[in-house]
A = this chain, B = another copy of it.
Amino acid sequence: MAERRNPPVLRRTPLADAIAVLDGLPCALVGQEMVPLEDAVGRVTATGIGPRQLPCAGAQALADGYALAGLETVGASPYNPLTFRLLGSAAPGKPFPGSLAPGTAVRVAMGAALPPGADAVLLSEAAQERGDSIDVFDATGPGAWTDAGNRSPKDPDSPLLPAQHRVRAVDLALLAAHGVRELAVQRVPRVRILVMAMQAASAAAGASAVTPGVDATGPMLRALIERDGGIVTDCIELAGDAAGLSDHLAQPGANLTLTVGGTGMGFNDHTAAIVGEAGPLLFHGVNLRPAESVAAASLPLGPVILLPGHPVAAAAAYECLAARLVRRLAGRSPDWPHPARRVRLARKVSSALGVADWCRVRITDPETAEPMPLSGPLSLAQLAQADGFFLIPPESEGHPPGSIIDIHAYA
């Protein structure tokens, strides 16, 4: 098999060095954009989302109700309603023009600015209107249902969300309550995938036509890239002889290019040579099994990472190297995003000194993991059976059976 022939002739850059090279590539090129609140989950804030970005500068109502001085409601109950004089209405963008004297209140809509003299919102259902006054049936406290209580008292201008924050579902309620309709987020990095078809490449045999759509790696990479915050703009199959690769490398429009296949040292492996003509290779060959032939280059239009052709090797190279760059371009932490899971190894795992092994595991009961073989033919089925992986560093010879390890779990 080709991959067993290749590694000896490649320079084996240590994995840690290859990671350091990729982590050093500049990443500020992707830029930012405004997105509606509904589309912001999973995106990374480009700026702090704070009071200065908000429509109103003062304390804001977080519910519809009545703005008043919270301490004046102390003692109110259904059996002892307190009466406030009603002055008017304040709506988002239309603050009440006056200020509140003691014993007065003003209707506010969620998002409205509180007038001077008010420090709390009483919910509508805790009061009943009678002509130009309200009966208050419940006590509220200073800051209740306003954003004032939701900021650090030491820093009233502290942002609602910091910059570089990955927006979660639970953030949306706070933003929506403050009237935030859209926010500035990092752009999604655009990734181009160029697949060298595995095929009979002999021109004499007339077999250089590509069978479109049989690529096994593209769909997997697309899903992994989306997981990491990127988007695949093109997934293009080239002939196994990499004809046309130079032209594709010269096309703008992607922040990162991944090539798949043709990275070895066989007589049908042309990818590294062609990429190397466009710009210097940062490394070619890493002590990472099963992705020994992975390479990277920094071209004028952006970085290129060269993944091996076997889907399992491509997965290893993507997860251990390329994914870090995708996440960094997306404004995320480069570290593995998979949840950690502590398991007991059902069998021993042996690893050669000097080699980092990307070890796939299958969870057989909630706390036990069966390691997949590290040598022998690479199996797509074993990859599909994997529930996660861990990395055995070059300085380790592996783990005895029963070892407790933390794996990176697939969702």
A residues within 8 Å of B by Cβ? 1-2, 4-5, 37-38, 41, 62-66, 78, 89, 91-92, 107, 109-111, 123-126, 128-129, 138, 140-141, 143-145, 147, 149-151, 160-161, 166, 168-177, 179, 181, 197-202, 204-205, 207, 211, 213-220, 222-224, 226-227, 240, 264, 266-269, 311-312, 315, 337, 339-341, 377, 379-384, 386, 409-411
A-B residue pairs in contact (CB < 8 Å), sample of 8: A64-B199, A89-B207, A111-B211, A128-B267, A170-B315, A173-B216, A173-B220, A340-B341
Nearest-CB residue, chain B, relative to A213: B181
Nearest-CB residue, chain B, relative to A108: B200
A169–B213 alpha-carbon span in the complex (Å): 17
Q: Which residues of B contact A110 (CB under 8 A)?
A: 198, 211, 214, 216
Nearest-CB residue, chain B, relative to A203: B129
Contact (Cβ within 8 A) A211 B124? no
Contact (Cβ within 8 A) B176 A219? yes
A384 and B123 in contact (CB under 8 A), knowing A129-B200, A315-B170? no
Contact (Cβ within 8 A) A124 B173? no
Contact (Cβ within 8 A) B214 A267? no
Q: Which residues of B contact A382 (CB under 8 A)?
A: 150
Nearest-CB residue, chain B, relative to A232: B38
A125 and B166 in contact (CB under 8 A), knowing A1-B140, A176-B218? no
A168 and B200 in contact (CB under 8 A), knowing A1-B123, A181-B213? no
Contact (Cβ within 8 A) A125 B383? no
Contact (Cβ within 8 A) B150 A381? yes
7 closest residue pairs by CB, A with B: A339-B339, A150-B381, A169-B223, A173-B311, A177-B216, A64-B199, A125-B268
Contact (Cβ within 8 A) B384 A170? yes
Contact (Cβ within 8 A) A379 B150? yes
Contact (Cβ within 8 A) B64 A198? yes
A218–B168 alpha-carbon span in the complex (Å): 14
Contact (Cβ within 8 A) B380 A166? no
Q: Which residues of B contact A179 (CB under 8 A)?
A: 214
Q: Which residues of B contact A160 (CB under 8 A)?
A: 381, 384
Nearest-CB residue, chain B, relative to A124: B200
CB distance from A356 to the nearest CB of B (A): 19
Nearest-CB residue, chain B, relative to A314: B173
Contact (Cβ within 8 A) A410 B339? no
CB distance from A149 to the nearest CB of B (A): 7
CB distance from A158 to the nearest CB of B (A): 10
Contact (Cβ within 8 A) A125 B267? yes
Contact (Cβ within 8 A) A379 B149? yes
CB distance from A233 to the nearest CB of B (A): 14
Nearest-CB residue, chain B, relative to A176: B216
Q: Which residues of B contact A214 (CB under 8 A)?
A: 92, 109-111, 176-177, 179
Contact (Cβ within 8 A) B268 A170? no
Q: Which residues of B contact A384 (CB under 8 A)?
A: 160-161, 170-171, 173-175
Given contacts A41-B223, A166-B411, 10 further A-B pairs with CB under 8 A are A2-B138, A107-B200, A109-B211, A124-B268, A128-B267, A149-B377, A168-B411, A169-B223, A337-B411, A339-B409
A293–B312 alpha-carbon span in the complex (Å): 51
Q: Which residues of B contact A379 (CB under 8 A)?
A: 149-150
The listed residue (B107, B124, B222) touching A38 by CB distance below 8 A is B222
CB distance from A179 to the nearest CB of B (A): 7
